[in-house]
Chain A
Amino acid sequence: MAKKYGMIHDNNLCIGCQACNVACRSENQIPESVYRLQVWVKQEEYPNGGLGYEYHRQSCVQCENTPCVSVCPTHASYKNEDGIVLIDNDLCVGCLYCVAACPYQARYVHPVTKAPDKCTFCHESRLARGEEPACVTVCPTDALIFGDLNDPKSKINKALSERVTYRQKESLGTQPKMFIVPNHKGGIRS
């Protein structure tokens, strides 16, 4: 059966340390001025007056229903057989409709290729070798879990069955394959 790769970002474990961010940059040779992945640490004040930090993973969420692919006139943006959304630079005409269409602001224009670029689940750099994505590999707190959603025995399915998750902007119907475990902590008062 075809694979369907997905990822979990567990906000209870995430500490916003940016190891994932740097690993992505290093593994995928991302130029300095752009990024495929950042974790935004935002200080929140909760209704009870307490404080907390939220850790927002800013990257492609690997939608099942893909606005970026639908909008592409040349099929340069496509979803591969493993459910990973990718870009074929040779087909790209540089219209950048996909950049505008992505509701998650996940795409940027690569300063060298001038084509759009974004998280590929390390398809080209690591998956082919049987390795997990760079961000998942280095995360110091095991906050990221990666795996095949079609495999009932995979790590990710096990975690999904044990942890409550949500997806970003679920109402858009994009069906991201990036699942988020919300932060239980926070709202702390001194």
Chain B
Amino acid sequence: MAYFQARRDFLKLATKSATATVLIPGSLGALGEVALRGEDKFVRSICEMCSSRCPMEARVINGKTVLLQGNAFAKEMGTSLCAKGVAGSSQLYDSQRLVSPLIRVGKRGENRWREASFEEALNLVSTKLSALKERYGARSVIFSSKTGEHYDLLRSFASAFGSPNVFSHWSSCPIAIESAFHHTFGEKLHRDFENATYILNFGHNLFEGLDISLTKAMAHFCANPSKKLVVLDPRFSIIAAKADEWHSIKPGSDLAFVLALLHVWIRDGKFDHTFVEQYTIGFDALVDAVKETTPQWQQTRTGIDASVVERIAAELYAATPRCIIDWGHKATTTQAEFQRSRAILIANILMGNVEKEGGIYLTKSAKRVNALAKESIVPELNDPFPRLQINEPRIDGAGEEGAYCFVSKQHGVLTAIPEAILSQKPYEIKGWFLTRHNPLITVADPQKMKEAMEQLEFIVVNDIYLSDTAMMADVILPECTYLERDEGISTLTCKVPTYAMRNKIVAPLHENKSAIEIIRALAERMGYGSHYAWKNSSELRAFQAKGNAELLQTLLLRGVASFDVPFFCARESSLVERFCERYPKSRAWVDAQGCFGHLLTHLKTPSGKIEIYCDAVEKIFKGYGVPRSVDMDVSQGLPYVLTSGKSAVHTNGHTQNVPYLSRLLSSNPIWMHPSTAKAHGLKMGDTFYLQNAIAKEKATVFITEGIRPDTLFAYMGFGRDAPSLARTHGKGTNVSKFLSLASAPICGAMITNVGVNIIKA
């Protein structure tokens, strides 16, 4: 096979790079401390401090990393990196990291351990998992991971093992918008912030939940006086402060605002009629659904004046097609989340901004670009993570007949896990394998989740820290940090095909292994070795690259690879022409308007077009085929709504104990409006209790005008019970404890806005 040749070339290359020192990134384990000593060198890789995975670069001196910065080979990044990304070296050298496998000696969750060798730990895990499979069937083991290579690895391993029960972190994060995209476009689109002139933002806070290239584009957008940003958020966030207008919308009511926009545009005939006619189906159903959703109607739900909707509707229309109604990532979540996300996408569609500069665009993947060019201009990758089809029902019913029929089997519904374990329905669950996943902090009702975990026979956790979830494990497998491991090739494509690769920056400081090594070693022990076409990370890369040594070399040296493909929007004839000039065979696709219009009529939706109305959804969930008003209440009869989000220096659960970062923000006092604080007799810094039906937790108060009087806000990821996270242990409040396990209809999203009471301490 070609890739074996590639692998030999690749290894040759790697060996060469070990001797040619200064500019060559070390990798493939060939470079250890010895090779690095006394040298000053740059290695380019991918950040892992949050899920944005920005391309980064490290300068290594004497085998120690000194500074992490952005990888300027990724054009949109420059040398920029966020505080978390730069603090990666402080995680690497953190004395509170896990450095050896641990095996439980006390009761589950008691936090008593003995150290073990990897050999012993892996043997134990393989024996236990095999025994569970033997006794209760493979389906009795759950596998969960955050998305990324860890998830791809684990999902593939789970399929070899035979369990259908694979979960990603999606249902606790972006699943609603992903689902809305799937039903509207059949795939996910991106936002061209650089070229937009007007953005309506529903809490997509790129200045506190950073993704460097998007954050940078948005910052320049905000600083440009000729552009306009309108932010709707119950809290005065950093992005709200950078906006031209901020409206403190009532939590959970985004949907009402968007429905009113749709109403106004349709009422006045102010939308892109030609686009709607040519590329979409189901517009008439929408007309009917938004008949009553007037600006006046929304006013009572959102607290925003009707005249504001009228004005913003007109401004957006005037800015078409260079306007974006920004959906956010995990912005508000309510039970109306599916409808909210769909309504936002449809607002974009009515503005005709799809495949227009300054609007929203389809991923220009290698496959898409090659098909258009009718030649292979960008290498396509092999999938190194085979998945066998498992014909067993899942415990959460994802992708099967019932409430979660539209939730992807690949991602599942995390909030359904506790009930399934405790009730043993639809069948018994006995084991759980988690890699880099911390549901006791990031998923609703950790109290119940913990109760369920206590019922299990065997839990194995792979993490960097002894997290709250790791504390529940039987075996903890300590992973190396991202600075100490090689990974396969990942796809970064948005505007143009781009690949990136995680390259080892220093040799592992301790016993730790990478997830690739861990999973591959388990597979070997359990008899699934033949499932994979590779044995280690270098073979994996070579297999992925299909014999393309040049691609691998670029990724080794530069950390990213792009292919000088010109960006095009399918509906911008000048950009289409530029693409055709470069790749003449692509002219065959050009339509009468000089566009690649076929891209929008051959989508992966049932009709092939953009679906304003989804028949499949309507058939099973009556009334959900088009966006319409559904129950948006998040207070559940309680006086306040507790909302949560990120700060610029932490993720939702991973970084709170990282030395540099813990000092920047070490707790999460609850944001409260002065009038609310006064009504409860609270002064800045006072302690009080938050309470609802499932939790009563201590909190401190941060008094600010920057929040609605009926709303509270907390940064995520605090209130840690794990004593091993010594810097953060016991500080702040874990807001997940207030969240209910009920999830949003259709998409299965966890609902992160919740009603609470304030009780004086």
> A-side interface residues toward B, CB under 8 Å?
10, 12-13, 15-19, 21-23, 25-27, 32, 41, 43, 45, 51-53, 134, 137-143, 184-186, 188-190
List 14 interface pairs A-B (beta carbons < 8 Å), by A numbering: A15-B208, A16-B238, A17-B82, A22-B660, A22-B664, A23-B81, A26-B66, A51-B246, A53-B241, A137-B69, A138-B81, A140-B212, A189-B246, A190-B236
- In the complex, the answer to whether B219 meets A142 with C-beta atoms within 8 Å is yes
Q: Which residues of B contact A25 (CB under 8 A)?
A: 660
* B243 interface hit (Cβ, 8 Å): yes
Asked if B705 and A19 make an inter-chain contact with CB atoms under 8 angstroms apart, the answer reads no
Which listed segment binds A: B85-93, B142-150, B173-181, B742-750? B85-93
B635 at the A interface (CB under 8 A): no
Give the docked Cα–Cα distance between A12 and B706 (Å). 19
Q: Are B81 and A188 in contact, with the CB atoms below 8 A?
A: no
**Bound state CA distance, A131 and B245, in angstroms?**
39
Contact indicator A51/B83 (Cβ below 8 Å)? no
A96-B706 Cα distance, complex, nearest whole Å: 41
Q: How far is the CB of A63 from chain B (nearest CB, A)?
A: 27
Is the Cβ of B212 less than 8 Å from the Cβ of A43?
no
Task: Take A10-B223, A138-B70 as given contacts and tell me if A22 and B83 are in contact as well, using a CB distance cutoff of 8 Å.
Answer: yes
Contact A185 B222 (CB under 8 A): yes
Verify A188–B241 contact, CB threshold 8 A: yes
Binary CB contact string for chain B from 191 to 229 against chain A (1 if under 8 A, 0 otherwise): 000000000000000011010100110011011010000
Bound-complex Cα distance A142 to B223 (A): 11
Closest CB in chain B relative to A178 CB, distance in Å: 19
Residue of A nearest to B248 (CB): A190
Q: Please state if B648 and A26 are interface contacts (CB–CB under 8 Å).
A: no
The answer on a CB contact under 8 Å between A17 and B210 is: yes
Interface residues on B, range: 35 or more
Give B contacts to A, CB under 8 Å. 66-70, 78-83, 85-87, 89-90, 207-208, 210, 212, 215-216, 219-220, 222-223, 225, 236, 238, 240-248, 648-649, 659-661, 663-664, 704-706
Q: B193 to nearest A CB, angstroms?
A: 13
Judge whether A19 and B86 touch: CB under 8 Å.
yes
Q: How far is the CB of B140 from chain A (nearest CB, A)?
A: 44
CB–CB A140/B219 < 8 A: yes
In the bound assembly, the distance between CA atoms of A12 and B660 in angstroms comes to 26
- Are A45 and B705 in touch, CB under 8 angstroms? yes
Residue of B whose beta carbon sits closest to that of A190? B248
Question: Contacting A51 at CB < 8 Å: which of B223, B244, B706?
Answer: B706
Residue of chain B at shortest CB distance from A49: B705
Q: In the complex the two chains form, what is the Cα distance from A141 to B354 in whole Å?
A: 27
Once the chains are docked, how many angstroms separate the CA of A188 from the CA of B83? 27
Question: B215, A137: Cβ atoms under 8 Å?
Answer: no
Q: Residues of B contacting A142 with CB < 8 Å?
A: 78, 80, 216, 219-220
Residues of B within 8 A of A23 (CB): 67, 69, 81, 86
Contact indicator B80/A51 (Cβ below 8 Å): no
In the bound complex, CA of A61 to CA of B588 (Å): 60
Cα distance A26–B660 in the bound complex, in angstroms: 9
| Residues of A with C-beta under 8 A to B208 | 15, 17
* Nearest neighbor of B72 in chain A, beta-carbon distance: A137
- Min Cβ gap B544→A in Å is 30
Q: When chains A and B are docked, how far (Å) is the Cα of A45 from the Cα of B241?
A: 12
Contact B664 A138 (CB under 8 A): no
Q: In the complex, how many angstroms separate the beta carbon of A145 from the nearest chain B beta carbon? A: 13
Counting residue pairs across A and B whose Cβ atoms lie within 8 Å, the total is 125
* CB <8 Å contact, B219 and A141: yes
List the A residue with the shortest CB-CB distance to B40. A129
* CB of B345, distance to nearest CB on chain A (Å): 26
Known: A138-B79, A140-B219, A185-B244. A51 touches B90 (CB 8 A): no
Residue in A closest to B78 when the chains form the complex, CB atoms: A142
Contact A22 B246 (CB under 8 A): no
Q: Is B706 a contact partner of A21 (Cβ separation < 8 A)?
A: no
Which of B80, B649, B705 has a CB less than 8 Å from the CB of A140?
A: B80
Q: Is A18 in contact with B83, judged by CB distance below 8 angstroms?
A: yes
CA distance A25 to B90 in the complex (A): 10
Q: Provide the residues of chain A in CB contact with B706, threshold 8 Å.
A: 43, 51
Separation of A19 and B87 alpha carbons in the complex (Å): 9
A173 CA to B615 CA, complexed, in Å: 72
Closest to B223 in A: A12
A112 to B238, CA, bound (A): 36
Would A15 and B219 count as touching, CB distance under 8 A? yes
Residue contact B242 to A140, C-beta cutoff 8 Å: no
Q: Chain B residues near A143 (CB, 8 Å)? A: 219
Chain B residues with Cβ under 8 A from A186's Cβ? 241
Residues of chain A within 8 A of B68, CB atoms compared: 26
Q: List the B side residues contacting A140 at CB < 8 Å.
A: 80-82, 210, 212, 215-216, 219
Q: Hey, which chain B residues are within 8 Å of A26, CB to CB?
A: 66-68, 86-87, 89-90, 660
Which B residues lie within 8 Å of A12 (CB)? 222-223
A52 near B241 (CB under 8 angstroms)?
yes
Q: Indicate if the CB atoms of A190 and B216 lie closer than 8 Å.
A: no
Chain B residues near A185 (CB, 8 Å)? 222, 241-244
Cα distance A188–B232 when bound, in Å? 12
Q: How far is the CA of A27 from the CA of B245 in the complex (A)?
A: 38
Cβ of A42 to closest chain B Cβ, rounded Å: 11
For B211, the closest partner residue in chain A by CB is: A140
Contact check, A51 vs B210: say whether CB atoms are below 8 A apart: no
Residue of B nearest to A52 (CB): B241
In the docked arrangement, what's the CA distance between A190 and B305, Å?
Answer: 10
Contact of B704 among A16, A32, A43, A141 (CB under 8 A): A43
Q: Give the docked Cα–Cα distance between A19 and B238 (Å).
A: 15
Q: Which residues does chain B contribute within 8 Å of A189, judged by CB atoms?
A: 246
Closest Cβ neighbor of B231 among chain A residues: A188
Q: Which residues of A contact B241 (CB under 8 A)?
A: 51-53, 185-186, 188
- Distance from A181 Cβ to chain B, minimum over Cβ atoms (Å): 9
Q: How far is the CB of A88 from chain B (nearest CB, A)?
A: 24
How far is A30 from B368 in the complex, measured between Cα atoms in Å?
48
Q: Tell me, in angstroms, the Cα distance from A32 to B90 when the chains sit together.
A: 11
**Closest B residue, CB atoms, query A143:** B219
Residues of A within 8 A of B242 (CB): 15, 185
B240: nearest chain-A partner, CB-CB: A188
Instruction: Judge whether B648 and A18 touch: CB under 8 Å.
Output: yes
In the bound complex, CA of A184 to CA of B244 (Å): 10
CB of A19 within 8 A of CB of B82, answer: yes
Residue of A nearest to B238 (CB): A15
Shortest distance from the beta carbon of B566 to any chain A beta carbon, whole Å: 25
Residues of chain A within 8 A (CB-CB) of B207 are: 15, 17
Q: Which residues from chain A contact B664 at a C-beta distance below 8 Å?
A: 18, 21-22
Give Cα A81 to B242, complex, Å.
39
- Distance in angstroms between the alpha carbons of A52 and B706 in the assembled complex: 9
Whether the pair B82, A27 counts as a contact (CB closer than 8 A) is no
Q: How far is the CA of A134 from the CA of B238 in the complex (A)?
A: 23
B659–A138 touching, CB < 8 Å: no
Task: Given A18-B83, A141-B216, verify A188-B90 contact (CB < 8 Å).
Answer: no
Cα(A32)–Cα(B664), bound, Å: 11
